[in-house]
Amino acid sequence: MTWSATARGAHQPDNTAFTQQRLPAWQPLLSAGIALPLFFCAGLAFIGLGLGLYYSSNGIKELEYDYTGNPGTGNCSVCAQAGQGRAPPPSCSCAWCFALPELFQGPVYLYYELSNFYQNNRRYGVSRDDAQLSGLPSALHHPVNECAPYQLSAAGLPIAPCGAIANSLFNDSFSLWHQRQPGGPYVEVPLDRTGIAWWTDYHVKFRNPPLVNGSLALAFQGTAPPPNWPRPVYDLSSDPNNTGFINQDFVVWMRTAALPTFRKLYARIRQGNYSAGLPRGAYCVNIIYNYPVRAFGGHKRLIFSSISWMGGKNPFLGIAYLVVGSLCILTGFVMLVVYIRYQDQNDEDEDEQ
């Protein structure tokens, strides 16, 4: 059985240069005169960029303190031992006092760091309801099954926000105090808690449900807070622009980390007399110790850090560029030796012929 000419023509592509693959093409021929300079130039570029990143990272100042509270490590051990692996009493507090001999150049960022905390665990990472977090009323009262066992409360009420990520919300709090003169009074350093979350998270991904009679509490009526929360989500802050699902601390925590040791931004110091940084003098950080980590062998740290044009302290990026640049130059030298050796051999063979 043969096809007719019409049938064959209907299944044939158009007779154009593009469909018939007749477009002009260029295929580079990589000779030694082209490949070797490329390797050396790429290597020098990577090394130059790596040196800039490395020295920029080393120029960032950091001041950190481990306040986990292991026995004999400071006054926070009292709070840690009071909890014995569980949450300590709500009134438990400790302090970290230190002195700065010179200006700690700003802007200064205050981070908390957790270690041995695997937010990248698969079941932990999917234990959330993005539709609920976006403020959909239907999802608010019908959380997804992935949130289990933090989907429904013991009374059968839907949990808002549901899931293991929200249930494990970091809830330590900090305040910074500065003694300008020896023997003088301590004054509180203003901590800017706004704008610490990603713009897309705060303005796009997270939304409160529509208000009911102008009340956010009524909007969450018929739901229960996560088991580990001492208060409901609509009572996280007295600021109406920083409570509910759009609470900055909550939004920051819900962006899970990829590694078991991670930092999250707590506040920025950039207001009043501290816009240029932390002046010299004595400081104390008052810590409200709520978050238990000793049960899973974790650690908690407070970190004051400055930034540079490349962001926070990250020596790995500079080292990675230096290693890649060095490998490019080493590969270039190996190819050059091979090229010279076989070039001489080819010249000898041609002379013999």
Q: What is the pLDDT of residues 257-277, one digit of tens each?
A: 999 999 999 999 988 889 889
Give me the torsion for CA of 65, 70, 71, 76, rounded to 10°: 50
Beta strands, E only, the chain: 62-66, 93-100, 104-105, 108-115, 173-179, 186-189, 262-269, 277-278, 281-288, 299-305
Report pTM: 0.81
Between 90 and 4, name the one with better pLDDT: 90
Give the burial class of 303: count Cβ atoms within 10 A of its Cβ; 0-12 exposed, 13-18 middle, 19 or more buried: middle
Those residues with Cβ within 8 angstroms of residue 250's Cβ, 6 or more apart along the chain or in another chain: 161, 166, 169, 206, 233, 236
Q: Using 50, 70 and 90 to split pLDDT, how confident is the model at 77?
A: confident
Q: Using 50, 70 and 90 to split pLDDT, how confident is the model at 74?
A: low
Q: Which two tokens stand for residue 22?
A: 């007749």
Q: What is the pLDDT averaged over residues 275-291?
A: 92
Q: Using 50, 70 and 90 to split pLDDT, how confident is the model at 330?
A: very high
| Percent of residues, the chain, with pLDDT higher than 90 | 64
pLDDT greater than 70 at residue 314: yes
H helix or E strand, kind and range, residue 284: strand 281-288
DSSP assignment letter at 203: I
Give the burial class of 352: count Cβ atoms within 10 A of its Cβ; 0-12 exposed, 13-18 middle, 19 or more buried: exposed
- 152 DSSP β-pair partners: 158
Q: What is the pLDDT of residues 182-216, one digit of tens each?
A: 888 999 999 999 999 999 999 999 999 999 999 99
The answer to whether 43 and 322 have CB atoms below 8 angstroms apart is: no
Q: What is the pLDDT averaged over residues 321-350?
A: 84
Residue 83: the pLDDT is 60
Q: Which two tokens stand for residue 179?
A: 């003694």
Q: How far is CA 127 from the centre of its chain?
A: 19
